[in-house]
Amino acid sequence: MINIQKDPALLGEVAADQFVKAAKAAISKNGKFVVALTGGSSPVMLYQLLGNEPYRSQVDWDKVVVFWGDERWVPLDNDQSNAGMAHANLLDHVPIPENKIYPMWAAGITPEARAAEYEGFLKKELGAQGQFDLILLGMGDDGHCASLFPGTEVLKEKDKWVEGYFLKSKDIHRITLTAPLINKAREIIFFVFGENKSSALYEVLEGERNPNQYPSQMIKPENGSLTWLVDEAAASKLSQS
């Protein structure tokens, strides 16, 4: 499902409503809500909405479990950190138990080793089936999502849930959930805003199938729902816009 709005702020409210609804359903069914946050700038307005009223009091934050879809391999106080951004805009403003927030970066370990460790945390919270209640994703202007970048080996991963690797194009180590794990999710929300994303979004949604070039094409939930929250600028090349 694709929701196109002129004003990205309206999509922030749509996403906040969907987040609250998913949290209530999961907590009522399983006693907890396991979510993977995205980095980048697209989700910031959502995080700020959730960390303030009226949304803040609609979520039982003490039953929320937070993972990330991907991370740059930098400490949380680095301005590149996805976890640092989520803390600044949401996690420091809501009462989630500290042991239920699982940052991907850790000191004194390699990204590759941390990926294996992170997979253990995921198995502990999700069980063997690995189904997130909700995964939030952004999309780059090259069609990447999480740290699933065009032409990278991680796109071929069929079994591992998490992969750490050196991303040559950005000259930085990354750690990311893999497409097979992402696709197990009950709900996935993509945020795509801005004219600079319009060509990649056209290729991902309406272009030739070419997931190695446009990795966001790999995101097809097995049984769950996929919602694209897109502003008019990003949707400008779509036939349906």
Ligand X SMILES: O=C(O)[C@H](O)[C@@H](O)[C@H](O)[C@H](O)COP(=O)(O)O
- Note the residues at the interface with ligand X (CB under 6 A): 38-42, 69-70, 72, 82, 138-140, 144-146
Do 178 and 157 contact (CB within 8 A), yes or no? yes
Distance of CA 12 to the CA centre of its chain: 15
Residue 204 burial by CB count (10 A; 0-12/13-18/19+): exposed, middle or buried?
A: buried
Closest to ligand X by CB, 18 vs 82, is 82
Nearest approach, Cβ of residue 30 and ligand X (Å): 26
Is the Cβ of residue 63 or residue 145 nearer to ligand X in the bound state? 145
Taking the C-alpha atoms of residue 97 and residue 168, their distance in angstroms, rounded to an integer, is 36
DSSP-derived letter for residue 97 is -
Shortest gap between Cβ of 108 and ligand X (angstroms)? 22
Nearest distance from residue 118's CB to ligand X, in Å? 15
Q: How far is the CB of 122 from ligand X (least distance, A)?
A: 17
Contact call for residues 34 and 126 (beta carbons, < 8 A): yes
Cβ-based nearer residue to ligand X, 145 or 204:
145
Q: How far apart are CA 215 and CA 212, in angstroms?
A: 6
Nearest CB to ligand X, comparing residues 13 and 141:
141
Strand bridging mode 172-177 / 162-167: antiparallel
CB nearer to ligand X: give 69 or 103. 69
CA–CA–CA angle 66, 186, 241 (5° rounding): 105
Partners of residue 189 on adjacent β-strands: 136, 227
Residue type, 67: F
Q: What is the closest distance, in whole angstroms, from the C-beta atom of residue 223 to ligand X in the complex?
A: 23
